[in-house]
Structure 1
Amino acid sequence: MQIVKLNATTSTNTYLRAYAKKLDVVEDTIVWAAEQLAGRGQRGAFWESEKDKNLTFSLFKRVGELRIDRQFYITMATSLAVYDALKQLGIEQLSVKWPNDILAGRSKICGVLIESVIRNGLYAVIIGVGLNVNQRVFTRAPRATSIALETGKHHELEEILHILISKFYHYVELIAQGQLIALKKDYESKLFRKDKASTFKLPDGSTFTAIIKEVSKTGKLILQLEDELYKEFDLKEVKMLY
């Protein structure tokens, strides 16, 4: 694996996609930026991050052996890797807010954005991670927290990066071994508000109450509605209010 360290870039995902295409990258590659000027999250959200205080990086990972309908297992692996790393660092009340935000209590500590690279099928994924480490004040993300805020300690960014990489490849190995059922069960056990009545918002602004039961193999959220029926939703179809 090679690691490319940048002083600043707009988005590590955007930079890495262009970098991988230009150089026809084959080996796993990380682009790590000290400052991300236009970080992106799910649904096009802005990611707030002070320079040199957080981990903002993207990983180019070849997954040619993975069927395209199973790419959500990479999301599960990434979420569980971040969860385990944060638990090792002493963060409490951790959970995964579907599909891949990591919460400490009810505050967001890490966001993940995964994009596919298609070349005659699923060729690779670009996994963007924004982990709040030493930042203590958030002006544009009032529901954010960081490792420093949760533990009261300053942490070395590179040390945490290597912990994350180690955890991620542990779960990647489980995928390679075909342990998909166990991986999915582990991921679902850590879902925020699983088996609890929660309020969800539809694109038209209307809301409804439902219970998170599981996720499908393709990553859709399976909810139990008030009439006991089960229904699947993808990321663009529903938003949890909490």
Structure 2
Amino acid sequence: MKLIKLDAIDSTNDFLKALSGSQELENFTVVTAENQTKGKGQMGAVWNSEKYKNLIMSVFVKGFITNADEAYLLNIATALSVIEALKKNNIKNLSIKWPNDIMSANSKIAGILIENSFKSDGSVFTIIGIGLNVNQTDFTDLPKASSMAVVANAIFDKEEILNLIVQELKTNLELIKLSATTLWDHYMSLLFKLGLPMPFKTQDEKTFMGIIKGVSAAGKLIVLLEDDHLVEYGLKEIQMLY
């Protein structure tokens, strides 16, 4: 693992993406930053993080998928890697809120953003961005956020956690080729609010009740509606109200 440490940057994903375009990077090149001024979440959402308290990292990987149909496996492998690293630090009540929020009970402690580049030669380069709330304890303006420190009432070594996440990533990304079904089964078992009646809201502010039944191969959320129809929803098409 090659590690590049930055004090401040607009986005570790953007930095690593630009670096990969200008030079040949080894697999699992990692960029971290103590402060990220333009942190990104899914679909352009903003990721806010207190300086020096949290783990902001991006990882360059290649050679694990060959086409867009396999892309969601990268999300699954990453989410499971963060979960496993947290478990090894005694963080409890962990689940994955579709598509890529890591929850402890009802609070978000990590977010994931994955960006793929499909090359003309058939290769796929991926930037895996992870924002993990580690030692931040003030979430005054973020009522649904929490951190490892809050959950476990302890202070953690961010570099140890980084190394653990990368170690888990190496294992889980290899499983894409060896046993993708194992990854899928583990991911499904950890879905936040799986099988429970939950309120949802559409883009046009309409609310409805539904039950999460799983996630499709394309990464869409499968919801059972009150009329017994199964409907698949893409990213940002619906929001879970919890």
What TM-score, normalized by structure 1, do the two folds share? 0.95
Q: CA RMSD in A?
A: 1.3
Alignment of 1:153-232 (within 5 A): 153-177=154-178, 179-232=179-232
Q: Contact (CA 8 Å) 1:111, 1:131: kept in 2 or not?
A: yes
CA contact (8 A) 1:11 1:36 kept: yes
Residue 151 of structure 1: how far off its partner (Å)? 0.9
Tell me, yes or no, if the aligned pair for 2:34 and 2:51 is still in contact at 8 Å.
yes
Distance 1:148 1:60, change over 3 A: same
Shift of 1:65: 4.2
Shift of 1:231: 1.0
Q: TM-score, normalised by structure 2?
A: 0.95
TM-fit CA distance, 1:122? 5.3
Residue 131 of structure 1 is matched in structure 2 by: 132
CA distance in 1, matches of 2:123, 2:232: 24
Secondary structure of the 1:232 match is strand
Listed one character per residue, the Cα deviations across residues 25-82 of structure 1 (whole Å, up to 9, x for unaligned) are 3533111111111111123222121221110010111136432111101100011111
Amino acid at match of 1:239: Q
Q: 2:34, 2:52 within 8 Å by CA — same for their partners in 1?
A: yes
Aligned partners of 2:183 and 2:83: how far apart in 1?
13
Q: CA deviation at 1:193?
A: 0.3
What SS class does the counterpart of residue 35 from structure 1 fall into? strand
Offset, 1:156: 0.7
The Cα shift of 1:112 comes to: 0.4
Secondary structure, counterpart of 2:227 in structure 1:
coil
Tell me, yes or no, if the aligned pair for 1:94 and 1:103 is still in contact at 8 Å.
yes
Greater mean alpha carbon deviation, residues 117-126 or residues 225-234: 117-126
Aligned equivalent of 1:30: 30
Secondary structure of 1:7's aligned partner:
strand
Structure-2 change in CA distance of 1:193 and 1:64 (3 Å):
closer
**Percentage identity across aligned positions?**
43
Q: Find the aligned partners of 1:41 and 1:89 in 2 and give their Cα distance.
A: 24
The within-5 A match list for 1:82-161 is: 82-120=82-120, 121=122, 123-161=124-162
For structure 2, the residue ranges without an aligned partner over 5 or more in a row are: none
Q: Is the 8 A contact 1:64 1:124 kept in 2?
A: no
Report deviation, 1:103: 0.5
Residues 132 and 64 of structure 1: CA distance in aligned 2, closer, same or farther (over 3 Å): closer
Q: Is the 8 A contact 2:65 2:71 kept in 1?
A: no
Structure 1 unpaired stretches of 5+: none
1:158-211 deviation per Cα after TM superposition (whole angstroms, max 9, x unaligned): 00101111111111121121x112211110100000000111111111011111
Aligned pair count reads: 241
Q: CA deviation at 1:140?
A: 3.4
